[in-house]
Structure 1
Amino acid sequence: MTIELDDIDRALMRALCVDATQSAGALGRDFGLSQPATWRRIKRLREAGVFGPRRVDLNLEQLGVGVTVFLGIKLATKGRVSLEDFERAVSAIPEVQTVQHVLGVYDYRLRVVAQDLPDFERVLRRRIMTLPGVGNIEANVLLSEERCIGPI
């Protein structure tokens, strides 16, 4: 079931995507609404499932993470290794931030972070390449990233 959205709902969503800590009062002032009216709109969007779980966006550079690499992984032996076994094993690697099961050339797409390229090479050789069923791997190093709000 989809929710009916008007221009103000879309503007509220865009504003919250940029800074989710904004108060309903501040948002209301920006959009010509009262604080209670803004709060009711946000509550309706939340209850409709428009907003996912709240997360903290970490500054990886401040934490010593200097490189992000996207890996495309093609499993060599799908029949002998279950997808659940691969997913469980790869999810246990602390440097792996996301595991996406995808359709296309590769079976999985991973987002991997490391201190630097030698650290990434260590993770790749010792942890990822030794996972059950791993066949071909393609790596793409992240150069820059822009946050796009999406189709709202």
Structure 2
Amino acid sequence: MLDDTDRRLLRILQARPDLPTAELAREVGLTAATCWRRVTRLTEEGVIRGQRAIIDWRALGYGVEVSLRFTLDKTQRGAFDEFMAAAREVPEVHEIQTFLGKVDVRLNILARDMPHYQEIYRRRILALPHIADIEALMLVATVKSDLALPL
């Protein structure tokens, strides 16, 4: 169970994951050793799964994000697993989600521009196995994208 100090640690780490332990400890009001032990415990318990850089894909020249929703033809045994394995091999797919309901899978695709997206779609996406239906949603604007949890 998390206490108030753990929640403070997590709030600060979400905002500034590269903060040195000594500075984190100072902000939370702990000694560096106690802070390090708490962060280690939270990591070992799986609350903190890692730290990573969040890269703005637009800054790297990608201008198009498309969300593709797939309904799969599940009449063949193994269709879902075969589709997932093939989708993982498409480098431009940066997120895969599965659902219960009419939509089985959602893939998020990043492309440099529309011609690049069309190439990905024609050569890689349409080659994926067991597709019964595809719906494409092109990203127009991101209104809110918050990776931090409300702690």
Please say whether Structure 1 and Structure 2 have the same fold, judged by a TM-score greater than 0.5.
yes
Report the Cα offset of residue 132 of structure 1: 0.9
SS of the equivalent of 1:11 reads helix
> What are the superposed Cα offsets for residues 25-69 of structure 1, whole Å, 9 maximum, x if unpaired?
111111211111111110110011112244332231222111222
Partner of residue 132 from structure 1, selected from 117, 120, 129: 129
RMSD over aligned CA atoms reads 1.7
Match of 2:74 in 1: 78
- Residues 69-115 of structure 1 show CA distances to partners (whole Å, capped at 9, x for unaligned) of 2211111x212252111111111111001222211221001111110
Q: Quick one: distance in 1 between partners of 2:102 and 2:48?
A: 31
Instruction: For residues 104-127 of structure 1, give each alpha carbon's deviation from its aligned partner in whole angstroms, at most 9, with x where no partner exists.
Output: 221001111110222212212221
Q: CA–CA distance in 2 between the matches of 1:16 and 1:104? A: 36
2:26 pairs with 29, 47, 71, which one? 29
For structure 2, the residue ranges without an aligned partner over 5 or more in a row are: none
Q: Secondary structure at the match of 1:49?
A: coil
Instruction: Give the structure 1 partner of residue 119 of structure 2.
Output: 122
Instruction: Indicate whether 1:150 and 2:140 are aligned.
Output: no
- TM-score (norm. length: structure 1): 0.87
AA matched with 1:147: D
Q: What's the counterpart of residue 103 of structure 2?
A: 106
User: Is the partner of 1:79 in helix, strand or coil?
Assistant: coil
Is 1:97 aligned to residue 91 of structure 2? no
Runs of 4+ in structure 1 deviating by more than 6 angstroms, as ranges, are none
Partners of 1:67 and 1:16 lie apart in 2 by 30
Shift of the 84–53 alpha-carbon distance from structure 1 to 2, 3 Å rule, reads: farther
Normalized against structure 2, the TM-score is what?
A: 0.88
Structure 2 partner of 1:65 = 62
Unaligned runs of 5+ in 1: none
- How far 1:151 moved relative to its partner? 4.2
Counterpart of 1:79 in structure 2: which amino acid?
A: T
**Identity value in percent:** 36
